Structure 1
Amino acid sequence: MKLLKCILLKLLAAVETTLLLISALIAPLLFFSVQWMFRTWNHLSMDELVFHLQSPLEGTNTEMVQEYLSECLAPALMVFLAVVIVAVVSSKKKWRYRYFSNGVILTALLLVAGGSIYTTVQKLDVDGYMESKGSYSEFVDTYYVDPADVTITFPEQKRNLIYIFLESMETTYADQENGGAFRENVIPELTEIAQENEDFSGESEELNGAYMTTGTTWTMGAMFAHTSGLPLNISIGSNDMDTQDHFFPGIFTLGDILENEGYSQTLLIGSDATFGGRRLYFTEHGNYDMVDYPYAIGNGMIPEDYYVWWGYEDHYLFDFAKDKLRELSRQDNPFNLTMLTVDTHFEDGYVCSECQDAYGDDQYSNVMACSSRQLDEFLQWIQKQDFFEDTTIVLAGDHLTMDSNYCEDVGGDYERKVYTAYINAAVEPEVLKERTYTTMDHFPTTLAALGAEIDGNRLGLGTNLFSAEQTLTERFGIDKLEQEMQKKSGLLEELAEIDRDTESLKVREGRVPTATVQVGTYSYTQGLLPVTVIDIENVEAGVQSIQIAVWTQEDQSDLQWIQLENMGDGSYSGNVNVAASGYRTGEYQIHAYVVDGNGEQSVLGTAVGFVE
């Protein structure tokens, strides 16, 4: 009997100790992670979280990774160590004391974990999200206007378009006198630009911007809404942006329309266009030329080892844009240059060599002010060029800032909106009143600004703001619109559907690009892991380039993209910079991608490297 009791006590002790150690590792990490997540993304939504968990990252900001390690992992490990010490000390006590002590600690840890999960569920409104995703609305199906079925008539002399997505730019940053919410205007140049041009504020001098809705509150969602008139609000699991060949194949977008009208189109950004599905979307809808961070490296625009913030900073972006505009303006056909700034991304933005210290320790205000100045200088340069007379410029904030505390003093009654300015438009507003609109209204409004006549003045869920036609926001109110955007739409799912039968056929017929990815031995002296891609087959129209995506973390938080070099014998080689992953030991996941002669990107193969 004593032996049985002894065995049971030891078994109970082993189970309790195991539960204690597992809880001691998970509970504090969960607690600190949840606190950090909501400090960093104080307006995080479930739609955005789900999208980024299942699609390529928009870029890798190593500062944010380091911040997570120091603010979440480090204190969690300290708590874990403390629990281990207590467990070791209590193991030398009598079994009743040991079980009581460990039981109290285990209960506390479980309460912490449960509280963290509860906080996450409440703040993200997971219940509401699940309810809305479980119910269908006929709103999108009823009010969607298919651009493919609308007569759009362009003028004989077509105008050029420069469309600049302004990262995290709000009307909020202006002073209260000019329609903002700040005591001091940190974007004075942008304020003046909007006032002197068109932001649909009617006769008022106060800035007027666009509302966001569910599915448009992060960069890719915003770019999609501006150019398609739709929210990116579907089950992302059926549209994994890095593994599929299509991005909403059933829609007709701004890029599609301009391509049909003979426009040359370029996407110029300072990060990797693959992140978030941007490369896939803009190549499929408009056949845009991609001038991104890897392109800049590959074409000698910046040094091979240059990498800051999300790639390269905005003063390079504007310099490259000037060179590109000189090139585009010499061609016979009209052009669309679409750009995305990045220095004003959270947290606190990136301080470049052009930034001043006008706001002391308020780094984000200094960065916002710097962006405002650089944009003004860029616009002044454009206005001096011969092509400006026939060019329309759109400045549009992509979404509200995700910075955790920059707008914490803004009153709850102030309606935050993203920045808007239409410059040198071909038309004037038909009504001089303040318009209420969302970022989806930019789609038809941009075409109207180019002088195109749109039958009915509506495309997608958007309305031409130069017309007298009511927007859906004016008709139903922003609250109603937001409520409907949170629900499922049968039409959206139909438009986003991927032709899996076609993909299966390609696999069966052996038309899917393949290759062998070989990983060499890690060089301790150089900190490099060599990778070679050989036996490349089924690549249509030849190989343009081959890249590898490399990461060690499950969430791909240390993801790096590496352009491989053509060795001239049919193989491509390069090296993984292990230092970029903090010299982490263990497995390195490696996926190889090819861009074929048609500009299409496909997965070639995968491999696993080891650093010991």
Structure 2
Amino acid sequence: MSELLSFALFLASVLIYAWKAGRNTWWFAATLTVLGLFVVLNITLFASDYFTGDGINDAVLYTLTNSLTGAGVSKYILPGIGIVLGLTAVFGALGWILRRRRHHPHHFGYSLLALLLALGSVDASPAFRQITELVKSQSRDGDPDFAAYYKEPSKTIPDPKLNLVYIYGESLERTYFDNEAFPDLTPELGALKNEGLDFSHTQQLPGTDYTIAGMVASQCGIPLFAPFEGNASASVSSFFPQNICLGDILKNSGYQNYFVQGANLRFAGKDVFLKSHGFDHLYGSEELKSVVADPHYRNDWGFYDDTVLDEAWKKFEELSRSGQRFSLFTLTVDTHHPDGFISRTCNRKKYDFDGKPNQSFSAVSCSQENIAAFINKIKASPWFKDTVIVVSSDHLAMNNTAWKYLNKQDRNNLFFVIRGDKPQQETLAVKRNTMDNGATVLDILGSDNYLGLGRSSLSGQSMSEIFLNIKEKTLAWKPDIIRLWKFPKEMKEFT
């Protein structure tokens, strides 16, 4: 309804100014500016919804206000050019229409009415309402029960015995593994999933729905809600500095923490997050280009999954031989929207759906093959008995060429565990969410079964079980989570 109302107000403003207002430079500029803002807001909403499926949300604001270094944008260049040309054409057309009766004398009443209608169109637009709500959500009081559910675990693991390999599959949600919906799409990794502890109902909550947010949720047990006011720019040098996260606990317990990915580490502040929480060894596109076999073999985001997982295997071998306790985290990229990338070493380069090739499904089939090959190398090694392997999606897939087919299914994130020390084969249908991943890993490693808002899915009760309205509850906790950044609103608070 608000879309129709805002458009009707926009149209009324244009018509009244064009036919009744007459000539006046100031009123023309003011009206054109506000009408132009309406157009920009709606294009922003359209573009945001294309990526998020949820309009302008925290993911959009966080991404736009953080580092975009290394973003893979080549597939969006033509649409971007189209938007710029379209905006230019719209502004040109608006200017021409509004000045149609420029030779008529200025009429204050109609000029004011047109400007008020233009302002009303902006105020009624869904884009403006979403942005306003995001701003308001930053400063609310929060929920008084947050402190009762947010729990800090012990800072160390008593007598740690197992190394950890944690694989984030970019957008590699569990839905892809439904063999009835998508036959023979994920045979290799699906077989490994069925050999381990498979958690079949991992829900995606607000603040966990993009890569860095999924990483924060899984390692710190909180959604990623960041401040956008005051001195929030301090976030470039620290990331939830007061929180105890999985990497901190591992480091305090004698682990050397490694992170390997093919994209640039600076994008969205992943480097800041990891360095802030126990990771001393980071490898991204810049760090890998001097060590990979073919530094020119790259996609839009960085190095292909086969290259990244080869380097991860080399690092696993090296660290295992050294005898030191370690964790090795890696993040794939080939399944990134809009349609993914195909590594050249894959046997599975093409997947047909509905009788035609689908690039996103093809990328999934290829990437899961690479991940499975990496895991099988670890399983075949003499060090597997001392290793826990975790495979999870960072978030649900965004708007890719498989999205409309995914949305027909009951969608869940991927999370399964393969234990080298104690093989376990079970599908667990307990209701859970991404924040429970880190707590579950801690539990397996012999530590506490809670981490922030996360609870172990083996011995605890997830917030997704406690609260039927967990999505609304998560948003109610947003101000409390933002306060965990502990940024001063004014520099004088430092003095």
Give the TM-score taking structure 2 as reference length.
Answer: 0.81
Read off the aligned partner of 2:145 and give its amino acid letter.
F
Q: What pairs with 1:262-341 in structure 2 (closer than 5 Å)?
A: 262-297=254-289, 299-301=290-292, 308-341=299-332
Q: Residue by residue, what CA displacement relative to the aligned partner does 1:33-60 show, whole Å, maximum 9, x if unpaired?
A: 4323322331356222232232223732
Distance of 2:293 and 2:84 partners within structure 1: 35
Aligned mate of 2:475, from 486, 494, 503: 486
CA contact (8 A) 2:232 2:487 kept: no
Displacement of 1:184 in angstroms is 3.5
Structure 1 unaligned blocks of 5 or more: 1-8, 201-207, 509-612
> Does residue 58 of structure 2 align to residue 62 of structure 1?
no
Across the two proteins, how many residue pairs are aligned to each other? 470
Q: Residue by residue, what CA displacement relative to the aligned partner does 1:168-196 show, whole Å, maximum 9, x if unpaired?
A: 1111223364xxxx354532333222222
Gap change, CA 1:482 and 1:369, over 3 Å in 2: same
Displacement of 1:23 in angstroms is 5.8
CA contact (8 A) 1:441 1:464 kept: yes
> Does residue 357 of structure 2 align to residue 348 of structure 1?
no
Show the counterpart of 1:76: 87
CA contact (8 A) 1:36 1:71 kept: no
Aligned mate of 1:35, from 46, 64, 73: 46
Q: What pairs with 1:586-597 in structure 2 (closer than 5 Å)?
A: none
Show the counterpart of 1:401: 397
Secondary structure of the residue aligned to 2:476 is coil
CA contact (8 A) 1:29 1:73 kept: no
> Does residue 122 of structure 2 align to residue 114 of structure 1?
yes
Secondary structure of the residue aligned to 1:496 is coil
Give the TM-score taking structure 1 as reference length.
Answer: 0.67
Distance of 1:350 and 1:186 partners within structure 2: 16
Q: Residue by residue, what CA displacement relative to the aligned partner does 1:187-246 show, whole Å, maximum 9, x if unpaired?
A: 23332222221113xxxxxxx141122222221111111111122234244674675432
Structure 2 unaligned blocks of 5 or more: 1-19
Secondary structure of the residue aligned to 1:273 is coil
> Does residue 255 of structure 2 align to residue 252 of structure 1?
no
**Aligned-pair Cα RMSD in Å:** 3.9
Show the counterpart of 1:48: 59
CA contact (8 A) 1:46 1:126 kept: no
Read off the aligned partner of 2:191 and give its amino acid letter.
E
Q: What pairs with 1:132-281 in structure 2 (closer than 5 Å)?
A: 134-148=140-154, 152-155=157-160, 158-175=161-178, 177=180, 182-200=181-199, 208-237=200-229, 240=232, 244-281=236-273
Show the counterpart of 1:373: 369
CA contact (8 A) 1:30 1:113 kept: no
CA contact (8 A) 1:458 1:464 kept: yes
Q: Residue by residue, what CA displacement relative to the aligned partner does 1:513-541 show, whole Å, maximum 9, x if unpaired?
A: xxxxxxxxxxxxxxxxxxxxxxxxxxxxx
Q: Residue by residue, what CA displacement relative to the aligned partner does 1:388-435 show, whole Å, maximum 9, x if unpaired?
A: 2211110011111121663334567x5421111101254578998521
Aligned mate of 2:461, from 455, 470, 486: 470
Displacement of 1:141 in angstroms is 0.8
Show the counterpart of 2:3: none
Gap change, CA 1:240 and 1:426, over 3 Å in 2: farther
Of Structure 1 and Structure 2, the greater helix share is in 2
Secondary structure of the residue aligned to 1:486 is helix
Read off the aligned partner of 1:408 and give its amino acid letter.
K
Displacement of 1:333 in angstroms is 0.9
Gap change, CA 1:63 and 1:415, over 3 Å in 2: same
Read off the aligned partner of 2:411 and give its amino acid letter.
R
Distance of 1:503 and 1:85 partners within structure 2: 50
Show the counterpart of 1:437: 432
- Larger RCO, structures 1/2 (Cα 8 Å, 6+ apart): 2
CA contact (8 A) 1:343 1:371 kept: yes
Distance of 1:432 and 1:84 partners within structure 2: 62
Gap change, CA 1:433 and 1:24, over 3 Å in 2: closer
Of Structure 1 and Structure 2, the greater strand share is in 1
Secondary structure of the residue aligned to 1:76 is helix
In our comparison, the structure showing a higher alpha carbon Rg is 1
Distance of 1:108 and 1:416 partners within structure 2: 44
Distance of 1:131 and 1:504 partners within structure 2: 23
Displacement of 1:295 in angstroms is 1.0
CA contact (8 A) 1:55 1:240 kept: no
CA contact (8 A) 1:248 1:495 kept: yes
Distance of 1:244 and 1:302 partners within structure 2: 33
Distance of 1:271 and 1:290 partners within structure 2: 12
Show the counterpart of 1:582: none
Displacement of 1:143 in angstroms is 1.3
Gap change, CA 1:19 and 1:462, over 3 Å in 2: closer
Distance of 1:301 and 1:405 partners within structure 2: 30
Show the counterpart of 2:104: 95
CA contact (8 A) 2:226 2:482 kept: yes
Distance of 1:238 and 1:442 partners within structure 2: 32
Read off the aligned partner of 1:187 and give its amino acid letter.
T
